[in-house]
Structure formats: structure tokens, C-alpha cells
Amino acid sequence: MKNTLLLIIIAFLLFLAIFFYWRNSQAESQLAAANEKITSLEQQVRRFTQPAPMDSLPPKQSEQPALQTPEKVEPVTPPESTSFEEEIGTLTEGDIQRLKRKGLKNPEADLMNDLMRKQKSLLTATGSMGGTMAIRDIRILNDRHAMAYYEDGHNGGYLLLKYAVNNGTISWTRLDSSDL
């Protein structure tokens, strides 16, 4: 009887070890997929936030100066203000002024508060195990885009949103989402 009970306990513990190992590897693969998607979205956001090159006509052939090769080429170091990862979620002064002209008094706070009020219409994921999906973190990327993290305590994900401001009224459009 003692041997049978001992074998049952060992089998149960072995089952638990295998189950938790499987859940861990499943979570790691989901995390890797989410990281890839976030990296892809960050690259897309960078492309949209970089200034467009100036359109200008090339100078006439007769006006072009002769090309000279410099004797010493120095590497170009970007200014500290281009560290995008540190500045993600902060509006530039130009973005703030544009949003104020469109009717927002305090653009970042107004946008965050409006998104929190309208989150139920933008979140399509449902909570699990009694949890309620809710936005936990918001990053206003520029004067047209925002990113939000949502979760219910068990599962979560990210939303990429586009917003428009017209006379102080904010409308939101869901561009993409990624569940973790």
C-alpha cells in the first residue's frame, strides 16, 4: 500500500514537472513571437516618424560644382536627441503645438484619458479566468499614433492605434494588435 501511494505521488510530481516545462517553453515561444512583432512595429513607426527628404530639383549640369574627395573622412556621430528608445512615448514640442491648435488643452493627458474612456470599444480580447482586459500603459508616439499595453492579469498584448483630433474631439482607429 505504501509503495503504491509512493508511486502515485512520484507519477503526479513527474506529470507536474513535464506540464510546467511544456508551459514554460510555450510561453517563451509566444514571447519570442511577440518580440519579433514589436520590433517590426517599431521599425514601421521609425519609418513614419523620420522626416521626409526635401523634394528639390537637381542643379543644372553647368551649375554643379566639381566633386572633391576629402583627404580624411570622419565618422558621423548622430546627436543624442536621436536615441529613439529612450524617447518613445514622448511628444515633441511641434507635436504638442499641432495638437493644441486642433483643440486639445493638454495633449498627452487628454489623449490618454480619452483612450482610457474608449478602451472597451478598441479591445477585442476577452479576459480569462475571471479577469477583465484593460489598458495598463499608453505611449503617445507622435501627433497621429499611440501604442498601448493591455492585460487581464493572466494574458495581455499590445495595440497600435491611430488617432485624429478635430476641434478637440478625438477619434481612435485600431491599426494592429499582438497578443502575448
Q: Tally the domains of the chain.
A: 2
pLDDT in tens, 151-171: 888 888 899 999 999 999 999
Is there a contact between 85 and 39 (Cβ–Cβ < 8 Å)?
no
Residue 176 has pLDDT above 50, yes or no: yes
Same domain, 116 and 178: yes
Distance between CA atoms of 51 and 178, rounded to whole angstroms? 27
List Cα–Cα distances, 30 to 84, 108, 134, 141, 171, in angstroms. Answer: 26, 32, 20, 25, 31
Whether 146 is in a domain gets the answer yes
Same domain, 43 and 102: no
Q: Could you list the residue range(s) of the whole structural domain that residue 113 is in?
A: 89-180
Helices (H), the chain: 2-49, 84-87, 93-101, 107-122
Same domain, 24 and 111: no
Largest Cα span, the chain:
102
Same domain, 44 and 93: no
Kindly report whether the global pTM for this prediction surpasses the value 0.75.
no
How much is the pLDDT for 111? 92
Whether 70 is in a domain gets the answer no
Same domain, 156 and 99: yes
Whether 57 is in a domain gets the answer no
Percent of the chain with pLDDT over 70: 77
pLDDT in tens, 82-141: 444 455 567 888 889 999 999 999 999 999 999 999 998 998 877 888 888 899 889 998
Residue 73 has pLDDT above 70, yes or no: no
Same domain, 93 and 44: no
Same domain, 104 and 175: yes
Whether 7 is in a domain gets the answer yes
Whether 175 is in a domain gets the answer yes
Whether 75 is in a domain gets the answer no
Whether 12 is in a domain gets the answer yes
Same domain, 109 and 178: yes
Same domain, 179 and 101: yes
Whether 73 is in a domain gets the answer no
Same domain, 127 and 45: no
